[in-house]
Amino acid sequence: MEPLGDLGVDEVAQLVHTGAMPERDDVTGVIDEAHARTIGLDDGEVATYIPELADADPRLFGISVVGTDGDHYAVGDADAAFSIQSISKAFVYALVCETRGHYAVREAVGVNNTGLPFNSVMAVELNDGHPMNPMVNAGAIATTAMVPAGSATERWEIIRRGLSAFAGHPLELDASVYHSEAATNQRNQALARLLESYGRMEEDPLEAVDVYTRQCSLVVDAHDLAVMGATLADGGVNPVTRERVVSEQVCRDVLAIMASAGMYERSGEWLFEIGLPAKSGVSGGIVAVAPGKGAVGAYSPRLDRAGNSVRGQRAVAYLSRTLGLNMFAAHDVGSTVKRSWT
Ligand code: DON
């Protein structure tokens, strides 16, 4: 498909559509209810293709909500630690947009959904070697390689510091998860080599996969995800630390890609039912962002076939509905004219 190109609106000031979270007591009641309604779900499977993830306790289930005012709410195992996995892709993409600019990243990585699984080789081949978007593994590895740095070690440190700024505290590497994935990630190495063969890798492909594997192994909990998401909801300012992490423009870019590709081949269904940009990871995390209002972080390790947490998706769906977070939902301003077409 031909890109839309320059639409000539860059210099026009953009108004933002914002709203507010409901009152504190209401949010507390609603997230307790979301947890109670979905904790009984035990379908789905814990990811096993990264051996270390197979040991996750499938009973764990935590939800956190953080508003752009910094207010936070939590229920269940919101402080249970897990590796961030694919959710890192959205935030590394933000760092690359911030440092390389909107057009460079759009051209090199792309912004369209593949409709195929996150680790698809076929998606790259079907698109003439283009990685397609930064939320699938091929695009994420290409994006990681675009972080400006003098060496792979420096690139990894920039990513670790950047994601820590989103979370509001230093994030640490889970060495067991990193070594477990590094020993079994031949498919990602193949994807990186394939991109290289099409001239789509800026850095050494295996070094880029190594840094990508490290970023996926950073330890977070559901509350961290909610703070990271709330930073995107807050135009790039962390609502807890008040540090500006990225620009407003970058948040728009990241949220747009999360909306179109953050839940992989189920992204369309997700947007249709839930109406929020979101990103999931194979360890069982989900972050969903309500621009201007805040974000939800959820963690539960059992996944559906696309790799999205079963309980997490249901809990976010309930919260989106009951907290009025769906971006597409608007009330009318009051009609006095009867419907004319029925
Ligand atoms: O590259 C991988 O396969 C993992 N480090 C991350 C994949 C992932 O989280 C996909 N998510 N649903």
224 and 81, same structural domain? yes
99 and 154, same structural domain? yes
The atom number, within ligand 1, closest to the CA of 119 reads 3
Probe target for ligand 1 pocket from 53, 86, 309, with the most ligand atoms within 8 Å of CB: 86
What pLDDT does residue 16 have? 66
Percent of the chain surpassing pLDDT 70: 97
199 and 100, same structural domain? yes
CA of 292 to the centre of ligand 1 (A): 28
Report, as an integer, the average pLDDT of 307-316.
Answer: 95
What pLDDT does residue 17 have? 64
183 and 77, same structural domain? no
Instruction: Return the beta strands (E) in 45-164 as ranges.
Output: 45-46, 62-67, 72-76, 82-83
**CA pair distance 204, 201, nearest whole angstrom:** 7
Q: Is 68 in the pocket of ligand 1 (CB under 6 A)?
A: no
What pLDDT does residue 2 have? 62
pLDDT digits (tens, 9 = 90+) for 115-130: 888 899 999 999 888 8
44 and 94, same structural domain? no
The atom number, within ligand 1, closest to the CA of 87 reads 9
201 and 100, same structural domain? yes
Instruction: Return the higher-pLDDT residue of 18 and 63.
Output: 63
Label residue 20 by pLDDT band (50, 70, 90): confident
Residue entry with tokens 């994601």:
163
**CA pair distance 306, 259, nearest whole angstrom:** 16
Global confidence as pTM: 0.95
Q: Is there a domain that residue 283 lies in? A: yes
Domain count, the chain: 2
Distance of CA 212 to the CA centre of its chain: 15
Contacts of 117 (CB under 8 A, 6+ apart): 264, 265, 306, 307
Q: What is the DSSP letter of 37?
A: H
Percent of the chain surpassing pLDDT 90: 82
Distance of CA 2 to the CA centre of its chain: 26
210 and 96, same structural domain? yes
107 and 81, same structural domain? no
Domain that holds residue 272: 24-85+219-323
pLDDT digits (tens, 9 = 90+) for 155-208: 999 999 999 999 999 999 999 999 999 999 999 999 999 999 999 999 999 999
Q: Does residue 54 register a pLDDT over 70?
A: yes
CA of 240 to the centre of ligand 1 (A): 28
| Residue whose C-alpha is closest to residue 229's, from 208, 258, 202 | 258
CA of 50 to the centre of ligand 1 (A): 9
Q: Is there a domain that residue 14 lies in? A: no
- The neighbour count for residue 291, using CB atoms within 10 Å, is 23
The atom number, within ligand 1, closest to the CA of 283 reads 9
H or E segment and range at residue 299? strand 294-299
Q: Is 85 in the pocket of ligand 1 (CB under 6 A)?
A: yes
Label residue 12 by pLDDT band (50, 70, 90): confident
Domain boundary residue, one of 170, 193, 216 = 216
Whose C-alpha lies nearest to ligand 1, atom 1? Answer: 137
303 and 235, same structural domain? yes
**CA pair distance 234, 293, nearest whole angstrom:** 7
Q: Is there a domain that residue 18 lies in? A: no
pLDDT digits (tens, 9 = 90+) for 287-311: 999 999 999 999 999 999 989 999 9
Q: Is 307 in the pocket of ligand 1 (CB under 6 A)?
A: yes
Q: Is 52 in the pocket of ligand 1 (CB under 6 A)?
A: no
CA of 239 to the centre of ligand 1 (A): 28
317 and 273, same structural domain? yes
Label residue 34 by pLDDT band (50, 70, 90): very high
Domain boundary residue, one of 181, 216, 251 = 216
- The neighbour count for residue 225, using CB atoms within 10 Å, is 32
Q: Is 234 in the pocket of ligand 1 (CB under 6 A)?
A: no
Question: Which CATH number covers residue 311?
Answer: 3.40.710.10
Q: Is 280 in the pocket of ligand 1 (CB under 6 A)?
A: yes
Q: Does residue 214 register a pLDDT over 90?
A: yes
Of 131-135, 141-145, 207-211, the one with minimum mean pLDDT is: 131-135
159 and 278, same structural domain? no
What pLDDT does residue 115 have? 86
pLDDT digits (tens, 9 = 90+) for 244-268: 999 999 999 999 999 999 998 899 9
What pLDDT does residue 66 have? 98
Q: Is there a domain that residue 225 lies in? A: yes
